[in-house]
Amino acid sequence: MVPGGEHVVKNTKWTQQYRLWPIGDIHWGARGCATKLVDSTLKRIKDDPNALWLGMGDLWDLIGPQDKRWDPENVAKEHRDKYFEGLAQEMLDYAYDRFHPIREKCIGLLQGNHEYTYDVRMDRAMTKDLSKALGVPFLGYSCFKDLVFKNGKKSLRIRIMAHHGAGWAQTVGGKINRLQRFVRSMDADIIFMGHVHIAGDLPVVTIGANEDCSHVEASTRLGVISGTFLKTYEGDPKGGSSYGERKGYEPVPIGSPCVVIEPGTGRLLVEKPVGKLGGRNG
């Protein structure tokens, strides 16, 4: 676990809302990756002067011919040739081009299980290399990171714990239970978890007392699951199928949630993707 230090937001506007986006489980290179939605999400971050983001891992799919999970049908057409030659550099360049315009808004990058497996098998530290190229902190597989809002002598410190995630839970309850373990065991204000491919949140309220025990206080820890941009099912007249389809996984809304922070009040809100109306509506 990486003690990630501080990311300071200077000249904080206390009446403004700030948005913190946990961007992960993109799976660039997989045919099911919703690349247009990724690009529009990154553009929202770029266009918002009060936006920040954290890389949650599994930015790339990184399943090549040497991997037992390899299926050429599931490689996006625009990357297919590179999966047989120069996969790592192609994927690094692709991610760099998209993240470079928002690099100064990044508080750090986590490694995911797809990057970890590729690093071990192919001896290529993808997330570290991307972090270095972008000039942002590499935060390992899990980290603590303080987000500090400052203006003059006034400040607000929010402690974040982020973990790429683990486990094979398929039910919503199982995924929330995995998040709950982090929320109950980690001393942080916001706990981010990825990997399980849903967007969800779990506020946990604890009751205590003030320093001299003169009155009772309530405080909240906010757990957030960071969503995915990988579609489980996609129409293919030729009969191609994704790993998730063959396993019978449930389809989920794609996209990233974001945590809305109000520094002036200390309130946190969560905005989550819920998808769109079906094709029968035009």
Residue 16 has pLDDT above 90, yes or no: yes
Distance in angstroms (rounded) separating the CA atoms of residues 114 and 120: 10
* pLDDT score, position 65: 67
> What would the mean pLDDT of 108-136 be, rounded to a whole number?
95
Burial 239-250 (b: 16+ CB within 10 A, else e): eeebbbbeeeee
pLDDT exceeds cutoff 70 at 281: no
DSSP 264: T
pLDDT tens digits for 154-166?
A: 999 999 999 999 8
pLDDT, position 81:
72
Please write down the HEC assignment for all residues of 117-168: HHHHHHCCCHHHHHHHHHCCCECCCEEEEEEEEEECCEEEEEEEEEECCCCC
Q: Report the pLDDT value the prediction gives residue 83, as an integer from 0 to 100.
A: 64
Q: What is the pLDDT of residue 84?
A: 63
pLDDT at 241: 74
Give one DSSP letter per residue of 184-216, joined into a string. HHS--SEEEE-SS--EEEEEEEEEEE-TTSSSE
- Half-sphere exposure (Cβ direction) of 106: Cα atoms closer than 13 Å: 26
Mean pLDDT of 56-65: 89
Against a cut of 0.85, is the pTM above it?
yes
CB within 8 Å of 190: residues ≥ 6 apart? 20, 158, 159, 160, 161, 221, 222, 223, 224, 259, 268
Q: What is the pLDDT of residue 280?
A: 59
Higher local confidence (pLDDT), 22 or 235 = 22
**pLDDT digits 0-9 by tens, 198-236:** 999 999 999 999 989 999 999 899 999 999 999 988 877
Q: Which run of H or of E encompasses 219?
A: strand 216-226
Mean pLDDT across the chain: 91
What is the rounded distance in angstroms from the CA atom of residue 243 to the CA atom of residue 145?
34
Q: Averaging pLDDT over each range in 59-63, 145-149, 174-178, 244-248, which range is the top one?
A: 145-149
Mean pLDDT score, 43-58: 98
Residue with token string 């692709």: 94
CATH topology for 2-276 is Purple Acid Phosphatase; chain A, domain 2 (3.60.21)
